[in-house]
Structure 1
Amino acid sequence: MARRDENNNIDTNAKRDINHSDLHYFIKSKKYTLPKYSFILRSKKRLMSIGEFLKLLEKNNIKNMSINLLREWDNKELLPAYRVEKGMIRTESRYYIMEHLDIAMEIVKLKSYGLEIREIENIIFENKSFEILFLSKIIKNKELFMKMKDIIKNIHHIEDELVSSICTEVKKIFNINDNDFKDTFNDKYLNTILNDYKKSNLNTDEASILLLSLILLSLYNSYDNNCFDRKKFSKQFYSIISENKNHT
């Protein structure tokens, strides 16, 4: 069955059939290829059954997976499998290669941020910005926006105790895992978001909420071991504000 786009129109050219065509995908904006089945036969890459692939996922600490979920992801073309006919009655079986593992790990990570299948497809197969899509979800939540507005007002009265309270709220809002966040959110990461923001087509309200989100994340990133690094926050804050001026 042909998939439909965001406007519910049938897109007959969008089918991800790796039995007949190479599939290009992106992880952290780097392009990779899942080769078509004929290449697998020539290159003698090892095909894994769906059960073997599930064991590989478990071995790599990818939890809460099941054969039914893999079948669902294949049917929805989120994680397409090779379909190979076997036996006298030519029953189709699903097969995977090692490259599927990287895609599965990326899907699980993106799902942990609350992204939906269509949003994950945009990132993995269309190389859309994760940061823009993720923060756009926040933009759509008006109640969350109001909560963030209340929090940001307090930044003008920064004290260590107050910052700690704000950071606790930020952690809840963004569902932050401390170790993952500290490893990811740095100057380079911030610049990546700002660069994506500069190239985006957000309206004024959306841009304002995105900037607010970035300021809150920068605040959280500047608070560590019960100590608020004002210099670090100021640097990131003015970088965000400066980019806003350039954008507008």
Structure 2
Amino acid sequence: EPENHDGIVRSRLTKLVVCQYPIPKLTEEYAPLAFRETKVEEHHENENFIPETSGHPKIEGEKIRTGKTTYSLIYGNLHEHSENSPCWPAGVDGTLHDDYRFGMFTEGYNFVAITDHGYSLNEVYWRKNLRIADFYNDPPYFVALPAMEWTKTTDKKSEIIELGSGHYNVIFASTEDALKFIRNRHETYSRRSPETSNVKLLWDLLHAQKINCITIPHHPACSTHRVDWEVYDHQFVPVVELFQVP
């Protein structure tokens, strides 16, 4: 600590040992980086051992055959939030990694869509979301779907539902389609954007941008977030969510 003498602050002398190393010589030639896929095979003395990818069993799902058609029975979650999109007062749902790992290892899902609110995202968060989805995507064993939630809520006190109200899970067919949903570096399209301030305008933009996706009405029976059923687009609304089990 400094010593104080007659109002003058003097720092104690400290011996500093300096180690000198020769400066490395760097080549002036640039060598391109070459990344190669690394494959890891698991071997086990038990011939019935099931190989895994990061703990997720790589086995085919249950098949159901009706006539000449075979169906696969799959189980997943098309609505989940992360820390980027707080949705309940008691806390948050965890990181993107937490959500995917919980779905894979705890729930045993075949697919997961992380649907953070569009108004909570900017270009950086959205690109991060898509990169992590690509990381966990391992079809046909596990599918990480690029997705977000578009929301427009009618005033709770109003008896009339506003045009284009409702919450919709936007599920994109690919990362390339999801990247088209970036409005600028500060935001993705959401109900706060003038181009997508109601769901009809949202569908118009999806048509104009040729974005391959579906928009699924979320919790349509919720009295707080009512859906305007007077507007509809057969291309982007092929299904409706009836109920989501937490």
TM-score class normalised by the smaller sequence: under 0.3
The structure in which a higher percent of residues are strand is 2
Q: Tell me the TM-score normalized by structure 2.
A: 0.24
Q: Tell me the TM-score normalized by structure 1.
A: 0.24
Please identify the structure whose Cα radius of gyration is greater: 2
The structure in which a higher percent of residues are helix is 1
